[in-house]
Every structure is written in C-alpha cells, then in structure tokens.
Structure 1
Amino acid sequence: MKRLHVHVAVEDLAQSTQFYSTLFAAEPTVVKDDYVKWMLEDPRVNFAISARPGRFPGISHLGIQAEDEAELAEVYDRLAHAERPTIEAKGATCCYAQSDKQWIADPQGVPWEIFFSYGESTVYGEGSLARLKEVSEAACCEPEAIRQVVPEAAAANACCARKRA
C-alpha cells in the first residue's frame, strides 16, 4: 500500500522534532543532524523535516512513497497521463536513502516526489537535486515547483529568480 509523503523545511530542527513527536504521539524513526523522519501508520504517512542551508521554511514538497517497484510503475504510468513535465532520478541518494523517483508539479506548482526507497545512506545526499542542477537552463522553462526544488538553479537564471517573503 502506498504511503503519503510530506517534507517540511524548518528553521529549528530540535523544536520542530519535539512538536511533531507530540503531535504524532510517536518518536521519529530516523534522526540525523539535519533531518528527522516519522514513518507513521495512522495516518499512513512518511513525514520528514529538515534544516538545510538555503531552504525556506514551510512545505518543501509532497509525495507518494511506493512499497515496491510494481507500485512505483503504477504511479509512473499515471504521471505519464498527467500531461505535465516530469524529471526522473534513478538511483538517487537523498534524505539518507537510496531511491528511484520522479518529480512532477501540479497545476498550481506544488512539487510532488514519486519514489521507491530500497536502501539507506549514511549521507543526506543531493540525488535528484544534483541531477536537476545539471539541467539548470532547462529548469528555467519548467514549472515553478520544479525550480523550487533546485533553488540554486533558480537563483542562477534571471528568468527563474524570484523574491520570497
């Protein structure tokens, strides 16, 4: 069964960890210096917070976590019918995990990560973000949500730069 994924960028990881542990009545399943994750069953969600340099506080992205490659293929098939650009990242190292994933933005520009994680990593990694940075010129023509996933690329391209309050 697939699991909803929510990733929130925070300014104070310790304070946010305490808040969300209280809210969920559960301790995190992954705790790193810059990243914390809860794998909850009720509600069935992969909820993560991170405090990474250069990120703005708030919702980073939403996602659907597949439990296996068959579920991932099923969701990828649906994305193909969404008539929106996707960015694929096979073998990505991100959020202390090894994953295959695709990124897509909804019509309002909300970034969605569709992924299957098959291993752990000892580093946060950049995985998808590093690959997206390689196409920074193309990112200028992608939906705003895809550019938000790559803030450095957006800042480097005048047509993508925007001021955030």
Structure 2
Amino acid sequence: MKRMHVHIRVADLAHNISFYSALFNAEPAVVKNDYAKWMLEDPRINFAISSRTDETGLDHLGFQVDSAEELHEMNSRLAKAELPIETEEGAACCYAKSNKHWTVDPQGIAWESYQTLDTIPTFNEKEEQQGIASACCTPAPVATAIKPKAAAACCAPSSNKSSCC
C-alpha cells in the first residue's frame, strides 16, 4: 500500500513539532534533534520536517511503498512522465536505509518514491562522517534540475549524494 510523503524544512523544530502534533492530533513517530516524522493513517501520509539548514519550505514530495513490486510500479509511472529519473539502491538518509527513485515535476519540485528497508542512527551516514549538514538528500543529477535555491540547500556540489534521502 502506498503512503503519501511530504518533507518540509523548518526553522524551529520544537515549535513545528508542537504545531503539527496539534494539527494531526498525534505525536511524531520519530523525533531526533533535527528531524521529526508522523506516520498518519487518516490521511495515510508520512509527514516529515527537518531543521538542517537556514532554508525553509517544501523540501520534496513522494510516495512511500511497502514492497519492491510497488516501488517498481512507481518507477514505471515516473518513466511515463518522461522526466529524468535517478535511482538509488540502499540510500542512507533521514534516519533510514531505502531503495529510491527520484524525479522533478515541471515546476522543479523533487518527487521521491521509496521503500524503507531499515533504520539508521544518523540523518545521513556519509554527511555525518564528513561533518556536512544539508536539508534534503536529493541526488545531484535531480538536484541540478531543481530551482537553484533548493539545489544549493540539498546537494552542495562538493558532497556525494549517492547515499542520501
């Protein structure tokens, strides 16, 4: 079963956790010092926020799926849209290890379809090892197609985004 995914960059994580907890009438399923996530059933959504850069606003949208078959189906849908697709196997970001497909819509909004395989203890393993902090983890080829502000916040040219969310 598919679950809509929304990720928003926020300036004040605690204030936003309070706001979205009230809005959703639920506490987050995951809370870290720079990240929170709600796994809601009504509506069925994976709603995440992070405070890793000074940039705020929509980070990316997507669909979380439960199986490799559903992920393949989502990739087929993306292919029909005839826009660039970036595939990541075993990506380690947003405190999770996942298989993913990324694209951008005609407005430049990043879209992610992914299957979570496991949890990890850091937001992004490679960035944590290198001491780098970024907002999202859109892979570099997709990020360059996103509006310049978002690409700079998500994927600095010097960083390797092959294992990011």
Q: State if a TM-score over 0.5 links the two structures.
A: yes
TM-score (norm 2): 0.81
Structure 2 CA distance for aligned equivalents of residues 123 and 143 of structure 1? 25
Q: Deviations over 1:6-29 (max 9, x none)?
A: 000000000000000000000100
Amino acid at match of 1:29: A
Return the offset for 1:149: 6.7
Return the offset for 1:110: 1.0
- The answer as to 2:15 corresponding to 1:7 is no
Root-mean-square deviation (CA), in Å?
2.4
Return the offset for 1:144: 3.1
Q: Which residue of 2 aligns with 1:158?
A: none
- Kept in 2: contact 1:147–1:153 (CA 8 A): no
Q: Which residue of 1 aligns with 2:103?
A: 104
Q: Which residue of 2 aligns with 1:150?
A: 154
Q: Per the alignment, in what secondary structure is the counterpart of residue 157 of structure 2?
A: helix
Return the offset for 1:126: 6.0
Return the offset for 1:89: 1.1
Q: Which residue of 1 aligns with 2:76?
A: 77
Q: Which runs of 4+ in 1 moved over 4 A?
A: none
Q: Deviations over 1:60-114 (max 9, x none)?
A: 0000111111100111111111110011111001110010001100111111011
Amino acid at match of 2:147: E
Return the offset for 1:129: 3.5
- Kept in 1: contact 2:109–2:146 (CA 8 A): no
Point out where structure 1 has 5 or more consecutive residues left out of the alignment: 155-165
Structure 2 CA distance for aligned equivalents of residues 120 and 59 of structure 1? 23
Q: Per the alignment, in what secondary structure is the counterpart of residue 137 of structure 2?
A: helix
Q: Deviations over 1:114-152 (max 9, x none)?
A: 10001000010167938x34x6xx964x35388367342
Q: Per the alignment, in what secondary structure is the counterpart of residue 108 of structure 1?
A: coil
Amino acid at match of 2:106: P
Q: Which residue of 2 aligns with 1:43?
A: 43
Identity %: 46
Q: 1:120 to 1:71 in 2, by over 3 A?
A: same
